Structure 1
């Protein structure tokens, strides 16, 4: 798996992304489309987020696909998990025009397989070879594909989530939703309304300039959400990234809830109902294993990236093993009874249902969880492998190493992960411990190794 990942050049952990006018442009997207059409030979759904460059790139994708003889369905502006759900139910594949959490000047492409998961490494390498060779098969004039518009199908995605929960389970609850001017403006508020909640919104109009906040939902950017939660007496606030495959929360006091805490809460709820395996990347907090082990669950680590989590979940299920939950510690959670991809809308609904069933404030639930300190750092470098090898050679106190993704270093009372970013030119450093002082000390030691 590691060798395959290294062979990918154009596509990163979650698709291909770049700044419009430099790394990303319609010509490249059209070539991706013609290569994808050559590989799939079927009906492909194309969706996009709200970015200003989205319509141009979506048109280029449609043109590339149609030129190969594929039929194309335009599903318009919608969350990435909505496209994934629709592809699984109706189509042979999909292409999402999005740069997820990246700033407004970025855009990109996520390629969706017919089962609704993102394209895996082996197939992506084949796709890249076709893109580079420019050897896509172009149909003659009699066999050009047909374009249809099925934007109304997003309603199926909304209904699929609402029907997972008891009817109007959130009656009497007030929730504030911040879609961040992205596609969830048309889905998450409606999902929660149909569950019985009273909804207030902020940044809930499609706007690719993202005037209210950037697509990455940071604690600083969510200050207006926190203020509205306090002002309305809401049970909590929920916010999404640029394509709504992730969800983050603030409690009834407007305090930001760490994404690993959210993961632990919802994974614990899933395990309580049905124990099984928990699948998550090596970058996820030990909090998840700590909480879910009390219900008899075992945590399995994967490389970083939702595609590895989703495919590992499916593999264990195919082998007859129960899988209770999966996801990443960034707000991207996977509910196996719904679909095998990160789903921000489903996460928002599951949190609302959990609070309704618990009948206690969300802050009370978070206070009951063990406390962990996770520190993160970005280290810009042209040679990430050299940095990783340096830390491996000089890490103190004889730790245990795991090379599932980058280098994971575990000591008795702390762990660290150093891995290259899948989308940007830097190495990510994670350090975690139950003891905040230990976490700070280990981070300092690793940075000193790198600096020396």
Structure 2
């Protein structure tokens, strides 16, 4: 039996359909999950073309080991997590999040609504590889019910966290990217009082308008629509809507760490405690949290590590204000302990309402200025690149929480293996652009592409 994850990455199992991602794989994952978590299991999926086939496979695996299955249909991952936390013993969602259309995957959700811990994920993998699934006789197999209507509970749950009509007078453009947020985010914002327009709001697993990853280039249509309508902001989601990114009133893409900082500032003015975030996040979060009397704690990269650290601190009696990643995936402890793009879209309404008519572009201009470089490089051996960078900077302070982080007073750099694709991610930051670029070039020279 292994004590390391082999199938699951940072956010579930993912692969290319017909190559590494097959119905047989997903069926066995369902059987393994059902063996570990007997009970009522909720399942759902995003809009990918392969989703229907794979959701039937995971249901078959769960049913054959005696679990009862509740099919929630097409919905955002955080909506399924919200529903699981309130009603079920676990969940599985068929999604590849931001990956290209040819990918799909499985995320497994624990009863508390968080992605399953590494320890329990390894237990699922060991069951998968051993094939020692729970057996069920003909009269012991599970049953299935369909409950697509339950997504309404998630929509209204977010709306109820804010004062009625808080968005009155605001115009927002929503780009769900042909994903499941087409069913949720426009309704959430409309119920908050906003006038809502949409782009790419047809659910379509071929993603005709843009790819599932919401990049500045892919959001050109959203930016143009925001400008032409004079909207207050535009919001876009990734493929399963656990993240949200924004364009401001001028149609400019809001860098995700700035989004995180702006919402951290809003949250920490009302709720004191620790802000939990991965080692990949900008120092701007430390600045903003500190200015509001809050502190910052770092984790490995991955929302599950942030969420479980938040839960652990709370169990120890420590106040937690907020959490999230610098990629638009933010976690609200008074809502649920997972990244939630719909909640983030709604919170931006509250941020602007609290600024009494200030434009989003103006509010962002008041944040501390950092120069942040993000890059990625495909490689079959990411661990070797991480080791090479570690060895090339012997005199620097190092943080090995996740990959290798070079920590200097005036800059930091992180090189780590991706948890979802065969690549390394490179991040460099400094207040001084020249300092950041010099450190970045040094790392690129080590990697061999400088």
Q: CA deviation at 1:423?
A: 1.1
In 2, Cα distance between the equivalents of 1:111 and 1:332?
18
Match of 2:82 among 63, 85, 93: 85
- The counterpart of 1:172, out of the listed 148, 169, 174, is 169
Answer yes or no: is the 8 Å Cα contact 1:246–1:333 preserved in 2.
yes
Question: Is 1:364 matched with 2:362?
Answer: yes
- The match for 1:290 is 287
Alpha-carbon shift at residue 5 of structure 1 (Å)? 11
Q: Following TM superposition, by how much is the alpha carbon of 1:436 offset from its aligned partner in structure 2, in angstroms?
A: 1.1
- Provide, for residues 397-424 of structure 1, a one-character-per-residue CA deviation record: whole Å limited to 9, x for no partner: x321011111111112110011111011
Deviation at residue 49 of structure 1 after TM alignment: 0.2
Instruction: Give the stretch that moved more between structures: 222-231 or 421-430.
Output: 421-430
* Equivalences for residues 293-442 of structure 1 within 5 A: 293-358=290-355, 359-395=357-393, 398-442=395-439
Correspondence list, 1:87-126, <5 A = 87-126=84-123
CA distance in 2, matches of 1:391, 1:169: 49
TM-score norm. by structure 2 comes to 0.98
CA distance in 2, matches of 1:336, 1:5: 33
Which moved further from structure 2: 430-439 or 300-309? 430-439
Gaps of 5+ in 2: none
Shift of 1:152: 0.2
Match in the other structure for 1:149: 146
Contact 2:257–2:326 (8 Å) recurs in 1: yes
Distance in 2 (CA, whole Å) between partners of 1:141 and 1:369 is 62
Question: Which residue of 64, 87, 90 maps to 1:67?
Answer: 64
| CA distance in 2 between partners of 1:426 and 1:71 (Å) | 38
CA contact (8 A) 1:5 1:121 kept: no
**Which 5+ residue runs of structure 1 have no aligned equivalent?**
none
Q: 1:22 aligns with which of 6, 19, 22?
A: 19
- The total of aligned residue pairs comes to 448
**SS at 1:136's partner residue?**
coil
Aligned pairs for 1:235-274 (under 5 A) are 235-274=232-271
Structure 1 residue ranges (4+ consecutive) displaced by more than 3 angstroms after TM superposition: none
| 3-state SS of paired residue (1:273) | coil
CA offset at residue 451 of structure 1?
Answer: 1.8
TM-score (norm: length of structure 1) = 0.98
Q: Provide the rounded CA distance (Å) in 2 between the counterparts of 1:152 and 1:253.
A: 37
Contact 2:3 2:122 in 1 (8 A): no
Aligned runs of 1:198-213 on 2, under 5 Å?
Answer: 198-213=195-210
